[in-house]
């Protein structure tokens, strides 16, 4: 993987980072044009799963699609979101923008490993995330980088601080998943999932948290999974990585709390993003805590991601 971070447009003369910045210092109410002013879904894929409509949670169990004006104190904040090219990461990034934050959307936007079953995100996906951020009148920046490269992340942290003046919020969402029985895994099926999901999340904290420590304030959110709470058949490397993220979160919270930095974890259930979608048509039984004959779970949509209450 490349050790350089690069934005998606502008001059190729800067090999580290070609910036794509939309807007700059606009308030959330200035450019709420067209559909962006109303509730918005961030996902663009068909809302079907195994030929059936993807179920939506009832209104009292969901915040619904992205919606501005939820009352959160995000006006003027700067957020960095990894894994932001699509899925949950995009939903969080756009929700932040809808409620007043400027967002740096970071994603590898390309192949991660042979151990990832999902179709890789693309630079176009990352551009679409920033387009949705821009639709809410916020400053948006797309940065293409590999979270396994901590030196690249540290350079990005320096550059974000220089261009935005601060980093208020970091969301570590980037992850891959491998569906394969433990005893059939190649070395990469274990190593690369742990390296990207657990080590990459730790790298994100180690690169960006020092900026918060210097200001003695910050909010960090890491993405775990229900698979990290109860284990998953034929996905041991993913479950282990997500379980490890919970330990990382608890430890980081104790260490960083003295600087008024909170560290919390979101623990999603099954969401219809490209990772679980790769299970469609798989010959491997769906994960379950009972019989493998159990009907596969049906995911909800990432567009229903609520603005995290841990801010």
CA-based nearest residue to 88, from 73, 116, 107, 111: 107
CA-based nearest residue to 89, from 43, 122, 124: 43
**Which bin fits 234, alpha (ψ -120 to 50), beta or left (φ > 0)?**
left
Residue count of the chain, please give it: 311
Buried b (16+ CB within 10 A) or exposed e, 127-160: bbbbebbbbbbbbbbbbbbbbbbbebbbbbbebb
Give the rounded distance of the alpha carbon of 38 from its chain centre: 23
Q: 22, 49, 96, 238: which one is catalytic?
A: 238
Q: Is 259 a catalytic residue?
A: no
- Residue 140 in tokens: 């948006």
What angle in degrees, to the nearest 10, is found between the helix axes of 200-215 and 236-256?
A: 10
The label of the residue with tokens 């909170």 reads 262
**Which of the residues are catalytic?**
238
């Amino acid at each position: 993987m490349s050790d350089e971070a690069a934005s998606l447009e502008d001059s190729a003369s800067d090999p580290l980072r070609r910036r794509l910045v939309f807007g700059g210092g606009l308030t959330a109410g200035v450019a709420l044009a067209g559909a962006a002013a109303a509730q918005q879904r961030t996902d663009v894929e068909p809302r079907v799963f195994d030929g059936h409509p993807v179920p939506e949670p009832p209104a009292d169990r969901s915040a619904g699609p992205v919606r501005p004006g939820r009352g959160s104190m995000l006006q003027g904040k700067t957020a960095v979101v990894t894994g932001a090219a699509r899925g949950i990461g995009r939903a969080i990034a756009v929700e932040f923008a809808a409620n007043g934050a400027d967002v740096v959307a970071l994603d590898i936007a390309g192949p991660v490993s042979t151990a990832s079953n999902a179709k890789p995100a693309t630079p176009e996906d990352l551009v679409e995330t920033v387009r949705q951020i821009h639709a809410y009148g916020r400053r948006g920046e797309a940065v293409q980088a590999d979270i396994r490269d901590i030196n690249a992340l540290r350079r990005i942290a320096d550059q974000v601080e220089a261009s935005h003046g601060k980093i208020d919020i970091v969301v570590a969402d980037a992850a891959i998943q491998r569906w394969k029985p433990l005893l059939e895994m190649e070395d990469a099926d274990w190593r690369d999932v742990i390296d990207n999901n657990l080590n990459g999340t730790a790298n994100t904290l180690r690169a960006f948290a020092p900026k918060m420590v210097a200001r003695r304030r910050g909010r960090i959110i890491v993405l775990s999974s229900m698979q990290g709470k109860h284990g998953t058949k034929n996905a041991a490397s993913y479950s282990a990585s997500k379980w490890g993220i919970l330990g990382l979160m608890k430890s980081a919270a104790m260490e960083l709390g003295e600087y008024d930095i909170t560290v919390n974890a979101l623990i999603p259930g099954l969401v219809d993003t490209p990772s679980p979608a790769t299970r469609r048509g798989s010959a491997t039984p769906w994960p379950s805590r009972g019989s493998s004959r159990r009907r596969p779970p049906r995911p909800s949509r990432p567009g229903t991601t609520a603005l995290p209450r841990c801010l």
